[in-house]
Structures are given as structure tokens and as C-alpha cells.
Structure 1
Amino acid sequence: MKRRDLIKYLSVAPIAGAAIGTGVPFQALAGTATAAAKRDVIKELGLRTFINAAGTYTTMTASLMHDEVVDTIQSASNHFVMINEVQDKVGEKIAAMCHAEAAMVTAGCWSALVLGTAGVLTRMDRKKVALLPNLSSFEKTEVIVQKSHNVGYVHALTNTGIVPVEVETAEEMERAITSKTAMMWFLNSSGPMGKIKHEEFIAIGKKHNIPTMIDMAADVPPVENLWKYNDLGFDLVCVSGGKAICGPQSAGILMGKKDLIAAARLSAPPNGGNLGRGMKVNKEEVLGMYVALEKYINTDHAAEWKMWEDRVATIVNAASKVNGVSTEVFVPPVANHTPAIKISWDQSKVKITPRELLKNLQNGSPSVEVMTGPDAINITVFMLKKGEDKIVAKRVQEELAKAAVS
């Protein structure tokens, strides 16, 4: 066979046979090539990875998903399903787990706040849905909020066009309620600062037949909070999915009264031409959120807490070995309610500022992220992987020891 004929033959020959001269099937070679070609995109792009001893902050990509969640996402990506059917089925499961009448997966807690407020404003009136955030023809346009709760997160509500009305006491709240009052909003992380507590807040809402919403974005653990506020009587409960629950970071949950969840879904994808169109949640996230929530609820939380305390002890013991260093273990009262450590030092004995220590930890190998205050660093342990507490302990001790005056 002439050379050109051989080339022509090889160009049309089936590739299912053995590789010429090797006796190895082409499929095996193809499989090897595929395995070798698997990409590490984070390394490829030169992105810095780090040990997260800071917490579930959005800027640090919050939490890591469990294998079961990732497997669910990957499996779901191989199938077409109707997104409304996914929301229906998952919503039923989440509602049952969290003692709510109904639920839906949202594009984070912020999306839950926006869509929940939209549902309160429009109910099942599709003409009103199309008008948001233009409330010029709406009778109810105000949301009552305690002054200590009226912080940046209220902007999620004002996306719908509503106007916040500030109050401080129950008496002020009673006087502030008018025919324009659409909803009452409670920011759970600010609960200790407000003068109106949960039960009284709900009671006033029920007395005047006004829906109440609670934002408890980062307020698990304890796990019981997932149903506590539904049981107390809040009409809508909003929570982040990508923090301690370890679901997709861009997912959240809106749960509560059946009629209000149905109304909220009118402003959410796949419906178009409305306020929430950009708040899309794909099937992978919805299903991943469901599996993450199920796993979180069924976790042995007592054992988990003991593990966190052991990690805290490891870091405290290491840092305390440096002369002039003090440690304090604390648990935030509401948001990120997990054991944490405040490490401070006498700067006449340890010549480094908290900011400098943070930078040294960031720039070390491995890189470690912590949080800083004016005179200390703060460390949380619930986002650490197994064994990382020892690494954090070693790195913190090293940097403090290097700065210690001999």
C-alpha cells in the first residue's frame, strides 16, 4: 500500500479497534487522555486558596458543600426537569422539615426577602406583580421595622418599592399601623437590641392582621431555629442556604404561610417580566439545597459542638504559650452562634498589630484567613476541615512568637 493510500485508509478506519502497533484499544487510550485532561481551574487561574478560620462571609465564598450536595448537583445536571415541579416537590419537603405550610428555594436570603415582600404586596394579583416596584396604585406601601433593625438589609425590602417606617416601642408600633401598612419586618440578628421581642412583635401583627417576616440569614445553629420561628407564628421566614447549612452559596430558603409563598413565586423565575426575574435558581441549586438541609437537620449537633470545642482548645493552647498573649472563648448570641476565639496581646511584649498579623497569616503557606478587631484577631472554627485547627494553631503561634520581645 502506498503511503498516501495508507493515510487515506487510516482517516476512514473505525477507531474502535486496537491502536496500531500497541495492541491497546483506542477506547482505553481515550479514557487515559480524558483522565489526564482533568483541569484544576483554580490553580490554572492562579487563585489563592486558604484555610477559613474567619467564618461564613460571602466575600470568602461562605461555606463548603458536602459531598452529598455536590453529587446531587452533578447528577441533576444530566437531566431536564420542569423547574416549577422541582420547586413544588422540594418546597413540600423543606416545609415538612421546618414546620412551615410551604417553602421555596431562593437565590440567597436577600432574594427570599425581596420575593417574600413582593408576595405580601401583590398576593395573587398578576397585574400587581407586573407593576413592582411601582407602588403608585397600591394602597399598602409601608413596612414597619424597629429602629435598631433598620440597617443595610432593609434594602432588600425597598427593592419592591416599600417605605420603611421606624418604631422603637410597642406603643409606637401600634400608632404607626395604618391602612398603608403592608408588613412588619424583624431582623433576628438585631433582636437583642430591639425593645420589641419576637412574641410581642408577632402578637401585634396578628392583632391587626398584618403579615410578619423574620430575616434569620445566618442564625443557625442552633438547628432548632429552622422551625422555631415558624412555630412562634411568623408568617414568612428567610434563611441563607450557603452558611452553616452548607448548601449552594447562592441559595436560600423562603418559608411560611402557603398563600404568601404562592404569591412570592409569581415574582420569581420562571415567570418573566417581573421584579424577581434575575433571581434565578437552577434545578441543581434547588435540589442541592434540599439535600444540604436534610443532612444538616440530621447531623449529630452535640458531637459537632464538641468537635468545635476541641478545635478551639487546640488553638487557644498554642496561642497562650506566647508570653503576653491572652485568649477569650465566646459564642455570638445570635448570628454565627458557634464557639469562637478572641486573641489579644500586650503590644509592649508582642510587637505586631492585629492587621499585620492578619496579613502575615494571609501571606503564609498555607494561607489562613481570620478576622481583626481594633486590638485583637477573632478566629472561628466551624468552617475548618479536619486537621486544619492544628495548622491554624501552629501558624498563629509562629507569627506571635516571631513578634515577641525576647
Structure 2
Amino acid sequence: MPKRRDVLKQISTLPLLGGLAASVMPLDIVAAPRHKDYFKELGIRTFINAAGTYTSMTGSLMADEVVEGIQYASKEYVLLDELQDKVGERIATLLHCEAATVTSGAASAITLATAGILSGMDEKKAAMIPHLEGSGMKTEVIMQKAHDIVYAHALRNCGVKVIFVETRAELEKAINSQTALMFFVNANNFEGKIRAEEFVEVARKYSIPTINDCAADVPPVENLWKYTRMGFDLVCFSGGKGIRGPQSAGLLLGRKDLVAAARLSAPPRGNTVGRCMKVNKEEILGMLIALEVYLARDHAQEWKMWEAQIAVINDAIKLMPGVETKIDVPPIANHIPTLNVSWNTKQVKLSGDELKEKLRTGHPSIEVAGGGANSVSITTWMLVPGQERIVASRLREALLKAAV
């Protein structure tokens, strides 16, 4: 780090215009930066995240390597398309798929994927989306009723009509000349009647492109290539959840021709549905670095750490009168050890929502998931190691105070 007097000496040797600029430059601009607690100055409380990778809670914390990469990228100019080309090639190699691009989140990946399937490589058609009438583009998307989650709105951004089905017979009957694609929500695989493999089978039978929304489906790490290998044409992931990349980044993986078509609707192109979904150079590089760090991680050891942290919290409360605990692992989305805590409200005079509020407003602030009448759920994968003991202590204290 250069000394302040050296910086001022260099400025004094610049041409006249530079010298004049220096003469009015505030001294603290060239002084060493001071550490500031920006959130505290804004009146914002930070918290211990024992809930999970919720967007409302700003997802996950990035690894130091990712932050360093973002800082590096912030100091240089590059051409956005060239960066996407090179990073996409590297990601595709890492994740064993034909092509990849970084998007501004998983929902953005869904919208861009839909746009690419509709327009192909026709820039004029891409510019017409979401106004499909008279465009020559197909207008319908088929999905299972059990997969109708709020994030499916990302499809409707492109002006398509969603056709809902329940059975394979209904699915095959719904396919017609206006069917643009079939959409699958991986987290709801076991809720719909048509499982992932069968869904792909039907799509291939009728040559219909498929999109799989896998936003929260890491871990396990194998999911990053499982579904493209299964045969889904395009797969979408969130970058700011289990991968721990930038919260506003995501991944679109799959067929080379369709990824290329999706990018016709992505920045820097302006007259497209995806122009408002800009992802900057810092996020693109940060997403690549996050993937490299994630793939190199000892996933088995990390899993053992999460289990041990869950055990610390569970041991602190499991023998309390009226309290019941259960540890499970969701089969697909958010596939991590989860502690579900419930209690008899006759023995513990507290609702789930009240417990969440006590943990949130206490010191330090803690966020947990769930709520309602008499339960909460807790995960540890977003904790800084050691915070599990704080969570255990605060949770036990809150339940004890409410015990009859």
C-alpha cells in the first residue's frame, strides 16, 4: 500500500489539469480506507442465519476467494459478451454439459431459457417477446399442476400461456403445434404424477424442449450435472444458495444451441425481455470462482460438520418437557440436515411465530425457518462454525422461559 505522501508527490508531477484536479481533491480520497460498519450506520441489524438460503435473508455468504475475484474484476474493463463466452466455456467443462451462461439468478435463467426456445437465433423474434401474437413463435408451455410454484411466473414474462396437466395421458394429449416447451420443477418431483425421467421421455418422443428449475438443488454436488445428463435440454440453478456465489447470479446449463439463443435476449442487447436482467462482470467472474471453490470442497466432511452442528442444538433442547425434535433431510431441494422442533403449547406457552420473534429481537439476532402454531425448523449449513452453540443456548433459553 503506497504512503499518502508518495501518492500526493505523484499527483504533483501530473500535467496542469491533473494538478488542478489534485488541488481540489479531498485528502481522505487518497488516504487509507477506514473500516466502517455500514449496516450499523444504516440502522440494520445483522443476524445469525439458522434458517437457510432464503432470498429474503440475502441467501448465503460468499467465500473469500469469490470476494477477492469480485474486487479484482471491479478494477478492470472487459467486453461483456467475451467474458460470458469464456466463463461459459469454463463452466460447461466443469459441469460436464454442452454450454453454460451466468444469469441474474435462477428466475432469470428460466425467462432467458424460455425466450431462447421461442426465438431461436432470430434477433427480430427475440425483440418481439413477450408479444407473441402474429410473431410465428409458439405460445404454450406445459407443466404439471403440482409444479405450479410462484417462480413459474418467470415463464409468463415471455408472454406464453401455461397449460396444466396431471397425468402422462393428459400431458401427451396437451402437446400440439403451439407447444413451445415443457417445464419441470425439480423440487416438486415427488409431488407430481410424472417423475423427471418419464417427463424427459415424453418430451423426447415428441421433440419438445425441456427446462428443469433446479434453483435450490445443490447440494448434492452431483445435481450440477445429473439433470443435463438425464436429458433435460436446459437446467437452471441459483448461484447464491448452496454454491455460495453472488446472490444475484444464477446458471443456465444445457444444449449449446439453446444457450446461445437464450443469450440473444440477455444483456448487453437492449431491445429484449432480458435487458432488465443484467449480470455484471464482477458477478460473472464471481460465479465461476464460486463453482471452482465449491467443486473442490470436501463435501463429505462438510456434511459431517452440519450433522455435528445440528446435534449440538438438538442436544440442548430434546429432553425438555413438552418439546419434540426430529432431524431429517429433504429428499431434493435444500437437501441438508434439518432440525424440526415442535412443542406442546400446554407445557410451553409460546407459538412458533412468537419464538421466531424472540430469537430475531434478542442479542445476537437469530433467524430460523418455519413458525405457525407450535414449531420451527433449523438448519446449520449457513452458520459460521461456532454459531451453533449460540443458537442452541438462545433456543433453550427461549423455550425454558415459556415453560409452564
TM-score normalized with structure 1 length: 0.91
CA shift digits 1:174-214 (9 cap, x unpaired): 11111101100001111101111111111111111110110
The number of aligned residues is 380
Alignment partner, residue 298 of structure 1 = 296
Alignment partner, residue 47 of structure 1 = 44
Mapping for residues 82-231 of structure 1, pairs under 5 Å? 82-137=79-134, 138-231=136-229
Kept after mapping to 2: 8 A contact 1:213/1:236 = yes
Q: Would the alpha carbon gap of residues 139 and 287 (structure 1) be closer, same or farther in structure 2, given more than 3 Å must change?
A: closer
Kept after mapping to 1: 8 A contact 2:345/2:374 = no
1:376 and 2:375 aligned: yes
Kept after mapping to 1: 8 A contact 2:131/2:159 = yes
Q: CA deviation at 1:321?
A: 4.1
In the alignment, the residues of structure 2 paired with residue 15 and residue 71 of structure 1 have an alpha-carbon distance, to the nearest angstrom, of 27
- Taking only the aligned residue pairs, the percentage that are identical comes to 55
Letter in 2 for 1:168: E
Specify the SS of the correspondent of 2:115. helix
**Structure 1: stretches of 5+ with no match in the other structure:** 1-13, 18-29
CA shift digits 1:72-95 (9 cap, x unpaired): 000110000111111001101111
Q: Would the alpha carbon gap of residues 173 and 32 (structure 1) be closer, same or farther in structure 2, given more than 3 Å must change?
A: closer
Of 61, 66, 74, the residue aligned with 1:77 is 74
Alignment partner, residue 22 of structure 1 = none
Specify the SS of the correspondent of 1:296. helix
Kept after mapping to 2: 8 A contact 1:98/1:230 = no
RMSD across aligned positions (CA): 1.7
In the alignment, the residues of structure 2 paired with residue 139 and residue 132 of structure 1 have an alpha-carbon distance, to the nearest angstrom, of 9
Alignment partner, residue 309 of structure 1 = 307
Specify the SS of the correspondent of 2:326. strand
In the alignment, the residues of structure 1 paired with residue 341 and residue 49 of structure 2 have an alpha-carbon distance, to the nearest angstrom, of 16
In the alignment, the residues of structure 2 paired with residue 286 and residue 128 of structure 1 have an alpha-carbon distance, to the nearest angstrom, of 27
Alignment partner, residue 342 of structure 1 = 340
Alignment partner, residue 20 of structure 1 = none
Alignment partner, residue 67 of structure 1 = 64
Alignment partner, residue 319 of structure 1 = 317
In the alignment, the residues of structure 2 paired with residue 44 and residue 139 of structure 1 have an alpha-carbon distance, to the nearest angstrom, of 51
In the alignment, the residues of structure 1 paired with residue 117 and residue 79 of structure 2 have an alpha-carbon distance, to the nearest angstrom, of 26
Larger Rg computed on CA atoms: 1
Letter in 2 for 1:82: L
1:404 and 2:397 aligned: no
In the alignment, the residues of structure 2 paired with residue 131 and residue 32 of structure 1 have an alpha-carbon distance, to the nearest angstrom, of 47
Q: Would the alpha carbon gap of residues 351 and 86 (structure 1) be closer, same or farther in structure 2, given more than 3 Å must change?
A: same
Q: CA deviation at 1:323?
A: 2.3
Q: CA deviation at 1:324?
A: 2.1
In the alignment, the residues of structure 2 paired with residue 292 and residue 223 of structure 1 have an alpha-carbon distance, to the nearest angstrom, of 13
In the alignment, the residues of structure 1 paired with residue 197 and residue 30 of structure 2 have an alpha-carbon distance, to the nearest angstrom, of 62
Alignment partner, residue 9 of structure 1 = none
Kept after mapping to 2: 8 A contact 1:145/1:185 = yes
Kept after mapping to 2: 8 A contact 1:90/1:290 = yes
Alignment partner, residue 19 of structure 2 = none
Of 263, 266, 291, the residue aligned with 1:265 is 263
1:387 and 2:403 aligned: no
In the alignment, the residues of structure 1 paired with residue 210 and residue 8 of structure 2 have an alpha-carbon distance, to the nearest angstrom, of 66
In the alignment, the residues of structure 2 paired with residue 132 and residue 72 of structure 1 have an alpha-carbon distance, to the nearest angstrom, of 35
In the alignment, the residues of structure 1 paired with residue 117 and residue 95 of structure 2 have an alpha-carbon distance, to the nearest angstrom, of 21
Specify the SS of the correspondent of 1:113. helix
Q: Would the alpha carbon gap of residues 322 and 79 (structure 1) be closer, same or farther in structure 2, given more than 3 Å must change?
A: same
Q: Would the alpha carbon gap of residues 260 and 319 (structure 1) be closer, same or farther in structure 2, given more than 3 Å must change?
A: same
Letter in 2 for 1:376: S
CA shift digits 1:42-75 (9 cap, x unpaired): 1111111000001111010010101000000001
In the alignment, the residues of structure 2 paired with residue 332 and residue 319 of structure 1 have an alpha-carbon distance, to the nearest angstrom, of 22
Letter in 2 for 1:42: F
In the alignment, the residues of structure 1 paired with residue 270 and residue 347 of structure 2 have an alpha-carbon distance, to the nearest angstrom, of 62
Kept after mapping to 2: 8 A contact 1:322/1:404 = no
Q: Structure 1 residues 322-331 or 81-90, which shifts more?
A: 322-331
In the alignment, the residues of structure 2 paired with residue 36 and residue 82 of structure 1 have an alpha-carbon distance, to the nearest angstrom, of 29
Mapping for residues 224-239 of structure 1, pairs under 5 Å? 224-239=222-237
Of 281, 287, 300, the residue aligned with 1:289 is 287
Q: CA deviation at 1:151?
A: 2.4
TM-score normalized with structure 2 length: 0.91
Alignment partner, residue 352 of structure 2 = 354
In the alignment, the residues of structure 2 paired with residue 289 and residue 344 of structure 1 have an alpha-carbon distance, to the nearest angstrom, of 38
CA shift digits 1:286-339 (9 cap, x unpaired): 000000011112211110110000000000000124322111111112111100
Specify the SS of the correspondent of 2:190. helix
